[in-house]
Structure 1
C-alpha cells in the first residue's frame, strides 16, 4: 500500500471510527452542537441547510440529538446526482451552491458546509458561495482544509499543493494519489486539479468577515479552518 493510500485511510476515511479523520470530525461537531443547543433554546427547533453535504456526514449526530433539538436538515447538491428520499429529519434537493435564490434570506437557523468551498471554482465563485451562506442563516459554520497543512487532503500527498502546477499535473497523470486513480492524459489531470483550491486564514476571513476563524489541529499543526458566525456575537 502506497503512502498516499495509507494517509487516505487514516486521515480521509471518515466512515472508519478508528481513523484520525473520523475522530477529528467528532470533536469538530461539538462546536456545532453548542450552536444547535442555543438555537433550540430560542426557537424550539433547528433548521439547518447543509450546502454540498452528504447524509453520512450527519451520522455523527446521534438520533437522540436530532430528536431532542428537533433538527431538520436540508442537504443541497448539484443537479445530476441521485438524491435519497426525504425522511423525518432530512430533505434532499438540487441547487447551485453559488446561487440559492430558491431560498429567502434567513430561511434557516444555521448555514453549514464541510469541505465544499474549495471545490466551487475560482475566487469569484467562492465569493458568491460565501455570500449565499451568510445570507441564508444568522449562524454560519463553514469548514475547509488549510492550505498550509503539509498533506494535501484530496490527493493525500505530502507537500503536493505547494508544488508548481505543471509538476502536480505530471504527478496526477503518472501516479494513483489517495483515492484518485492516475489520469489518462494532461487534459484530464489539469481538469481534475481545477476542482481543488485550498484557502488560508486571510482568504477565509475575507470571505466571511463577520465570522470567527477557528483552527482544527492535528499533532499541533493546523489541519482545517472553520468560519463560525454565531447570532450572539454577530
Structure 2
C-alpha cells in the first residue's frame, strides 16, 4: 500500500510526494555562497592537502585580526565536517576506535597495545537512499513473487525476490497485523579479501558492502548505486608467532 514518509497509509493509486524545493539562497550547511565556493575550491578543484588548507586559513586569519573577524573555516577539520554535513548526496562517513581489553600476558604482543579505526556509514540511511532512488522504478520488486516457465511449468530463479526464502519471510510478516501493508526489504551484506591500504602502518581494512534484495540483479551488477560500501573493517596484524593466540582470533 502507498504511504507517506512517516508510514501513514494513503489511498490506493496516490502519487508520490514531490521533493521539497530549496530556496535559491539556501546553501545549507554552508553559511553563504562564498563559503560553499571556498569548500569546493579546496576539496574538489584544487584537492588541497590538509596541511596546506591549515596554512592558507592561518594566513587568511592573520589579515582579519584587525577587523575582529575570522576566515570561513577554522581549519581543515572544520572544512571536512561541514562537507560531511551536506544533507544531499552520499551518507557521511563516521568512525570509532577499538582496542583489546581482555586478559594480557606478562609480555603482550604489539596488537594488544594498538588502537584500530573502524569507518562506517549509517546503513539505515544508505538503504533509505536506495529505496528512494527513482532510477530503479522499473527494476524494483515491492513484494516476493514466483515465476514459472510456460514450458513444463518449471519455477524460475533469477532475482532475490523470486526465492523461497523471501516468500517465507513475507508470510511471517503477514502474521502480524501491525505490519500489514509494509514492504519487506532484505538487506544483503558482503565483504571480500581485497584490502584498502592507507599510507603506512596498520591501516588496512576489509570493505563491507550492502545492497537490498528488492532491486534486480542487473541493476546491482551495473553498480547503479544499488551496491554501496557501508564500512571499512580494520584488520589487526600480528607476527606469525602471535597469530594463533586464542584471544587474537576472536578479536580480529
TM class by shorter chain equals: under 0.3
Higher helix share: 1
Which structure ranks higher in relative contact order (CA pairs < 8 Å, sequence separation ≥ 6)?
A: 1
TM (norm. structure 1) is 0.23
Higher strand share: 1
- Greater C-alpha radius of gyration: 2
TM (norm. structure 2) is 0.22
